[in-house]
Structures are given as structure tokens and as C-alpha cells.
Structure 1
Amino acid sequence: MEGETEQGRAALHELPLFLWLSPAFPVGAFAYSHAIEWAVECGDIADGVTLENWLKDLLEHGAPHNDCILFAQAWRFVRDGGDAELRELNDLAIALSPSRERHLETIAQGNAFLSAVRAAWPCKALQDLAFDGDVAYPVAVAVAAAGHGFALRVSLEAFALALIANLVSAAVRLGPLGQSEGQRILRALTPHCRALADFAEAATLDDLGGAAFRSDIASLKHETQYSRLFRS
């Protein structure tokens, strides 16, 4: 197309990512708060400032940080034909869940994503994927992205931002902030999502780790929270 830039062509090529990572894609992401519901209940998240700080910590030290590293490694295994390594990576991704609800969060979304994308967006990598059990969400999305030839960096940025957008949406539904404040937070955290994508693109499994203990504890507390809107 006349006047189309290389960057524009790349963006169009990865356009399905916007569908796969949108709230409309049938993975049930709207049902999970990643323990934000407990954080709101106990007062750790009380307004936009505390939510922004909580989410920034997750990007730098929590599960989203590790999920992006796992995503990048899974993408590379698909590219390089490392089927056995991919299965081991998936086992590791599931094992890293620190609570029953985090385990449910990653496998329920991973399995649902895989089912939906295979039906509507088939490719060889998805056809050849032969796991005996559950699939972790970052691994499932990475396999689809790599199988369709989507660039790793763009895929990582979209994945990280979608994770954070879902958590902001959960916080808005829980009531400590409104829609406009939620959008302000997403704008403020977008550079942090890009920074995480930049880090994860070059990271190895040795870089896995975390220190978001309050979030992990919240996921345990949420299991017995008396009144709940979310599954995690």
C-alpha cells in the first residue's frame, strides 16, 4: 500500500493479537482479579495511587514479570522446534503458581485460549502442540503468537498490557476508583509494560523470580474471603 511504513505493516501483521488479548476473547479473564479483590477488602488498594503502585510492583517483581519471561522462552522454543523443552517449560509455568487460585487462573485461561485459538486461528504450531494436561496461559498465547509469525517484542508488549488492563478493570468493578482514573493508570503503566517486554525479550529462565509477597499472600487469603466477585 502506497505510503505504508514498515512499522505500520508490522502492526497490521500482529493485528490478531488485539483480538486474542481483548476482553471479548473467550478465556474468562474478566472472572479473575489476581488477588486484587482481597487487596481492596483489606485496604491495601484504596484508590488510584495505591492501585498503580501495586500493579507497578507486579510488573517488576510479581507474576506478570515471570509470565513475560516464560512467554518469551516459549516463543523461542516454538521458533526453534524445541518440543520437549516447551513441555518442560509449561510444567514449570504451572508449578510457579503460589496458590490454588493462581493455579486455576493460569490453567483455566490457558486451556480456554488454546481451545478458542485452535478453532478460529489454526496454525501448524497449534496443531503440533501435544501436551498431556493443562497449558499455562503465557505458554498458550506464546505458542499461537510464534506459530503465526508474530514478532516477539510486539507480542510481549501486547501481552503485558493486556494483563494489567484486566487487573485495572477488576479494580474499577470493585469500586475504589472510576473509569477515568483507571485509564490514567493504564497510561502511566504503559511504559513499564514496554520496559518489561524489553527485559523479557532478552531474558532467560535464570531471570525468573519474584518478591511480590503481599500479592502472593493476598491470593491465599482470597481463597477463604467471605464475599467474592472474582475467582482469584
Structure 2
Amino acid sequence: MDTITLTDPNLLCLLQLASPALPVGGYSYSEGLETLVEDGAIAHPENLKHWIEMELRYGAIRIEAAVMIRGYHSAQARDLENLSSWNNWLSAARETEELRASSLGMGRSLMRLLVELQPQTQAIADAVGNSCNYAIAFSIAAAHWQINIQAALLGYLYSWANNLITAGVKLVPLGQTSGQKLLLELQPLLSHATTQILNLEDDELSCCTWGLSLASMRHETLYTRLFRS
């Protein structure tokens, strides 16, 4: 991975954008993880680590992150037509209603927050409307704050992994220390995935995520649930 250079304001904006405390509702979603824990497929830290590793190598998160990059460049260029097109593409790529709802719910929350913090982003918010996926909203914020795209992508993947591990801490359950150890162990893979995703061409945007899709679809029929997906 190339060396990333950020000014202090850029870095602080990235930390704010990738923070678990960002009020976009990410803590409400487990992306099918709750189903897998209920089934006993994920019962130990090693199981959760393997699941996250496979998602980073082959799963839908790669597509989301790749679209985030394209949204970033479209927002930088003020190409609202292309930005809207990639947003629609990502909506169509979501396999289940639950995954689509989580992406759109978090996207709407982030866009509302961004407009409150930076009113000058209202025009671009109007262009994407209420059906804005989280990856697109993240890309708009990163472009507005002029965060280095490689750093923004790494922050996006880190935020995703941190959310899943936090869900795992509650569901498996894992200890807080085990969760932090797992996040630390995933750092090399997060860096490697960032490099790979940055180099994906448009016709390489594909994933193998049927396990996630099935877990997501079955989530709504669980007897008890802590999460919305």
C-alpha cells in the first residue's frame, strides 16, 4: 500500500466519519450475523474472523467499497448524473430487502447529518434524494472534506469490520478484549483489500455472497432479535 498523507483537518474528518459513534444507526444492523450465531455457525472469535475475512475477499463489501470510490470521484467532479447512476446500480445489486433497507437507512441518516454539518452539501444531497445508499453518502462526505481516497476507503472498510465485531461481541458473545484483538489481527487484510479494491475495473465488480443473502433473508423469522438485519 502506498504511503497516505493527510493534513490534520483531513485526518480528523476521516476519524469522525469512520467513528462507531457516528449517528447513522450502524449499531442496529448485524448483516445476517445474528442468524449465523443463532445457527451455531459462528460461536468463537475464530469463526467470526473467518467470516469477515471471506467477506473482504469475496463478499458484497468489496462491491460497496468499489462503488464508494466511484461515488467519490463523481462527487469531486460534481457529476451528479454519474453519482446517481452508481447509487441506483448499488441499490439494484443488493440481494435482499433487509440489506437494501440497512444501506438506504444509514445513507439517509448520513446525508441528513452532513447537510446539518455542512449546509453547502444540500445541492448534492437533493440530487441523490432519499434513496441514497450508505456507500454513496460516505463518498460524498469524503469528497467534500477532501479526504485522500485511499484513506477514505480504508476508513470505510475499518468502520464496516468494527461494526460486525461489535455485533459479535454482543451476540456470540465475545469479550471486549477478544473483539479488539480480532480487529487488530484484521489490519493486514484490511490494508490488502484496500489495495485490491482501488484497482478494480468496472467489469470486475462481482462478488460471491449467497451465504450472507440467505442469513439476511432468514433473519426476520428468528424467534428473538437484537438487530434489524
TM-score range relative to shorter protein: over 0.9
Which moved further from structure 2: 60-69 or 109-118? 60-69
TM-score between both structures, scaled by the size of structure 2: 0.92
Report if the CA contact (8 A) 1:66-1:208 is conserved.
Answer: yes
Tell me how many residue pairs correspond in the alignment. Answer: 226
CA-CA distance at 1:11 after TM superposition: 5.3
Q: Is residue 118–residue 127 contact of structure 1 (8 Å, CA) maintained in 2?
A: no
AA aligned opposite 1:182: G
Aligned letter for 1:37?
Answer: E
Structure 1 residues 219, 11: closer, same or farther in 2, change over 3 A? farther
Q: 1:28 deviation in Å?
A: 0.7
Mapped partners of 1:150, 1:61: distance in 2: 26
Per the TM alignment, residue 200 of structure 1 is displaced from its structure 2 partner at its CA by 1.9
Instruction: Return the alpha-carbon distance in structure 1 between the equivalents of residues 77 and 53 of structure 2.
Output: 32
Partner in structure 2 of residue 174 of structure 1: 171
Q: Does 1:128 align with 2:120?
A: no
Contact 1:69-1:201 within 8 A present in 2 as well:
yes
Q: Distance in 2 between matches of 1:205 and 1:122?
A: 32
Structure 1 counterpart of 2:103, which letter?
T
Any idea what SS the aligned residue of 2:155 has? helix
Instruction: Give the secondary structure class of the aligned counterpart of 1:166.
Output: helix
Equivalent position of 2:98 in the other structure? 101
- Cα distance in 2, alignment partners of residues 148 and 68 from structure 1: 18
What's the TM-score once normalised by structure 1's chain length?
0.91
Deviation, 1:73, is: 0.8
* SS in structure 2 at match of 1:219: helix
Q: Which moved more, 1:68-77 or 1:13-22?
A: 13-22
CA contact (8 A) 1:35 1:218 kept: yes
Structure 2 unmatched runs, 5+ = none
1:122 Cα offset (Å): 4.0
Cα distance in 1, alignment partners of residues 15 and 42 from structure 2: 28
Contact 1:123 1:148 (8 Å CA) reproduced: no
Distance verdict in 2 for CA 1:7–1:205, change over 3 Å: closer
CA RMSD of aligned residues (A): 1.7
Shift of 1:15: 1.2
> Contact (CA 8 Å) 1:73, 1:204: kept in 2 or not?
no
- Other structure's SS at 1:15 match: helix
CA distance in 2, matches of 1:135, 1:55: 25
The aligned runs of 1:1-232 (5 Å cut-off) are: 9-10=6-7, 12-124=9-121, 127-129=123-125, 130-232=127-229
Partners of 1:131 and 1:214 in 2: CA distance: 30
Structure 1 gap ranges (5+): 1-5
Q: What percent identity do the matched residue pairs reach?
A: 27
